[in-house]
């Protein structure tokens, strides 16, 4: 059992160690190193995984190749965010040590959701992720925007959690269980279900829509992206969404929920709304973080096309897409962290001529934006190809065309930022240095973006198998 859930145990142990160090040592560099070692140690256990769960754990968790692959993606993303966070918070006078306790706790919540096969386990993991995230968003207390964003996030998250609990209660009342496999069998064999069951499913979808920032439940996203510290925004945009995606995909694959006509139509509407609202609102944004917030809404809409496909095609396409999106997102927010000395870029004008001040960061941002567009030779291109293939496989041509149209719309606002990066400026150019470790991490991330675009089969097989 220890081997099967080893990443969770190691992260939990790291939380205790970090709390003790934060209480007695108060050394930012030491805690950042111990935090990174925790993620590395947890990642090391991925290669020796097994499905040897005890009966008690077996009722709550499922350990398979897919969960291990997503666990690896989570831990590597968290490691990169950990490194970005150290260099970012070195520029602030805040108390920095507790941040790493919060980061590990939130990551533990994501790992629990990835392996969850029970609605209660999923909810515990979700709250284990959400509560530290509220604090992380407001961690830079000297920034008024951070505190405001955290309050908005907390208020809307509380409402979504209430909706989720009520929805799960209604599903339990109908199915008599909260195990997703048993619930799946219930929906397969039931000739008819009580009307309140559909209300429960609707409330569950609303809660998921909030957590993934699907339109029209995305209202918190721009404020949180803009108000948070850049590494925290990277976490919210990537790791914080992965557990929910993994659980929803497992639920859809183990039940016939997607065959319920009203639910299927509702998910299609959510996908299309997310694509259009995300892209159209991103067009006019002058702040790169707000632009990326609306962009993430659109990308979650694209991802819904793969989720609606169901089966192994959905697993492989979803796994590849979220990995590609995470890598591009980490490249962008990692680069923003580098140029955020004592303040973050507030407008598009502050990025003007960045190539001449900091060519490494400008190139990283460019490649990250090209990946989000879906340009050839980047992981984003192959990710959209696989999502389109998944949508075409279930004859969802309407969604496929919506995805293509919205991808074309996104070219405008992404290239607008790329153009600004390479524009000449009348101000005196002062070269900026990038710490060697940060530069190395950014280069590795860029290589991954290109590798996923040039040789995607290895990554696709990782999730397909």
Tell me: the pLDDT tens digits for 327-357?
Answer: 999 999 998 888 876 566 667 777 888 888 8
CA gap 157, 134 in Å, rounded: 9
pLDDT > 70: percent of the chain? 94
Average pLDDT over residues 37-63: 78
**In 3D, which of 369, 450, 459, 453 has the Cα closest to residue 414?**
369
**In 3D, which of 262, 291, 464, 263 has the Cα closest to residue 373?**
291
CA gap 367, 335 in Å, rounded: 11
Where residue 128 falls among pLDDT bands split at 50, 70, 90? Answer: very high
How crowded is the C-beta side of 356, counted as CA atoms within 13 Å? 14
Average pLDDT over residues 391-416: 90
CA gap 224, 169 in Å, rounded: 30
Supply the pLDDT for residue 105: 95
More confident position, 251 or 310: 251
Average pLDDT over residues 223-237: 90
Residue 57 lies in a domain: no
Residue 353 lies in a domain: yes
- The residues with which 118 forms a beta bridge, in sequence order, are 179
Residue 101 lies in a domain: no
Where residue 275 falls among pLDDT bands split at 50, 70, 90? Answer: very high
Answer whether 365's CB lies under 8 Å from 291's CB: no
With a cut of 60, say whether residue 143 has pLDDT above it: yes
User: What pTM did the predictor assign?
Assistant: 0.92
Where residue 298 falls among pLDDT bands split at 50, 70, 90? Answer: very high
CA gap 456, 452 in Å, rounded: 5
Supply the pLDDT for residue 16: 94
Integer CA distances (angstroms), 9 to 109, 111, 226, in order = 12, 10, 33
Average pLDDT over residues 148-176: 89
More confident position, 16 or 262: 16
Supply the pLDDT for residue 296: 93
Domain membership of residue 297 as a residue range = 280-465
Supply the pLDDT for residue 358: 83
Supply the pLDDT for residue 126: 93
CA gap 54, 71 in Å, rounded: 20
Supply the pLDDT for residue 341: 65
Supply the pLDDT for residue 162: 92
**In 3D, which of 161, 156, 275, 282 has the Cα closest to residue 220?**
156
How far the first Cα of the chain sits from its last, in Å, is 22
Residue 245 lies in a domain: no
**In 3D, which of 117, 255, 119 has the Cα closest to residue 178?**
119
**Rg of the chain over CA atoms, in angstroms?**
21
Supply the pLDDT for residue 14: 94
More confident position, 350 or 408: 408
Contacts made by residues 394-399, CB under 8 angstroms, sequence distance 24+: 394/308, 394/309, 394/310, 396/268, 396/305, 396/308, 396/309, 398/268, 399/268, 399/271, 399/272, 399/304, 399/305, 399/308
Residue 94 lies in a domain: no
CA gap 410, 276 in Å, rounded: 10
Residue 139 lies in a domain: no
With a cut of 90, say whether residue 108 has pLDDT above it: yes
Supply the pLDDT for residue 125: 93
Average pLDDT over residues 120-129: 92
CA gap 456, 85 in Å, rounded: 30
Supply the pLDDT for residue 443: 92
14-20-26 Cα angle (round to 5): 110
CA gap 39, 105 in Å, rounded: 12
Residue 81 lies in a domain: no
Answer whether 123's CB lies under 8 Å from 164's CB: yes
CA gap 323, 69 in Å, rounded: 10
Average pLDDT over residues 11-36: 91
With a cut of 90, say whether residue 450 has pLDDT above it: yes
Number of C-beta neighbours around residue 280 at 10 A: 14
Average pLDDT over residues 438-442: 90
Where residue 447 falls among pLDDT bands split at 50, 70, 90? Answer: very high
Q: What is the mean pLDDT of the chain?
A: 86
Number of C-beta neighbours around residue 55 at 10 A: 7
With a cut of 60, say whether residue 1 has pLDDT above it: no
Which bin fits 262, alpha (ψ -120 to 50), beta or left (φ > 0)? alpha
Supply the pLDDT for residue 66: 83
CA gap 3, 63 in Å, rounded: 10
More confident position, 79 or 457: 79
Number of domains in the chain: 1
With a cut of 70, say whether residue 4 has pLDDT above it: no
Average pLDDT over residues 4-12: 87
Average pLDDT over residues 57-66: 79
CA gap 176, 163 in Å, rounded: 19
Residue 381 lies in a domain: yes
Instruction: Return the minimum-mean-pLDDT range out of 158-162, 232-236, 306-310, 428-432.
Output: 428-432
Answer whether 161's CB lies under 8 Å from 170's CB: no
């Amino acid at each position: 059992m220890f081997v099967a859930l080893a990443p969770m145990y190691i992260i939990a142990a790291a939380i205790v160690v970090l709390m003790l160090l934060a209480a007695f040592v108060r050394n930012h560099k030491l805690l950042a190193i111990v935090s990174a070692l925790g993620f590395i140690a947890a990642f090391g256990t991925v290669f020796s995984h097994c499905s040897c769960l005890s009966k008690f754990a077996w009722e709550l968790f499922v350990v398979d190749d897919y969960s291990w692959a997503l666990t690896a993606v989570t831990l590597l993303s968290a490691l990169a965010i950990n490194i970005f966070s150290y260099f970012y918070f070195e520029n602030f006078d805040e108390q920095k040590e507790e941040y790493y306790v919060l980061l590990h706790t939130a990551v533990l919540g994501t790992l629990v959701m990835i392996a969850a096969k029970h609605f209660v386990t999923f909810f515990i993991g979700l709250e284990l992720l959400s509560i530290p995230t509220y604090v992380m968003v407001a961690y830079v207390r000297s920034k008024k925007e951070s505190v405001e964003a955290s309050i908005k996030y907390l208020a809307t998250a509380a409402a979504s959690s209430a909706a989720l609990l009520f929805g799960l209660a209604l599903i339990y009342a109908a199915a008599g269980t909260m195990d997703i496999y048993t619930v799946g069998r219930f929906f397969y064999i039931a000739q008819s279900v009580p009307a309140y069951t559909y209300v429960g499913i609707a409330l569950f979808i609303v809660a998921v829509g909030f957590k993934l920032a699907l339109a029209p439940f995305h209202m918190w996203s721009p404020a949180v992206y803009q108000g948070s510290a850049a590494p925290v925004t990277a976490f919210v945009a990537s790791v914080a969404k992965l557990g929910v995606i993994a659980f929803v995909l497992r639920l859809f694959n183990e039940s016939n929920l997607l065959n319920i006509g009203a639910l299927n139509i509702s998910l299609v509407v959510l996908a299309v709304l997310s694509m259009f609202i995300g892209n159209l609102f991103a067009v006019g944004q002058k702040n790169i973080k707000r632009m990326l917030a609306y962009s993430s809404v659109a990308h979650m809409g694209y991802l819904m096309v793969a989720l609606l496909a169901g089966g192994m095609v959905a697993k492989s396409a979803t796994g590849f897409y979220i990995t590609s999106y995470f890598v591009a997102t980490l490249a962008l927010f990692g680069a923003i962290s580098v140029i955020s000395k004592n303040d973050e870029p507030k407008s598009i004008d502050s990025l003007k001529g960045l190539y001449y001040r900091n060519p490494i960061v400008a190139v990283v941002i460019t490649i990250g934006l090209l990946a989000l567009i879906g340009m050839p030779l980047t992981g984003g291109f192959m990710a959209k190809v696989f999502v389109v293939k998944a949508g075409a496989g279930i004859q969802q041509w309407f969604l496929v065309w919506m995805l293509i149209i919205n991808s074309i719309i996104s070219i405008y606002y992404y290239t607008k930022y790329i153009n600004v990066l390479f524009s000449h400026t009348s101000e005196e150019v002062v070269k900026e240095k990038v710490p060697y470790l940060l530069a190395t991490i950014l280069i590795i991330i860029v290589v991954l973006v290109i590798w996923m675009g040039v040789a995607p089969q290895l990554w696709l097989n990782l999730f397909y198998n």
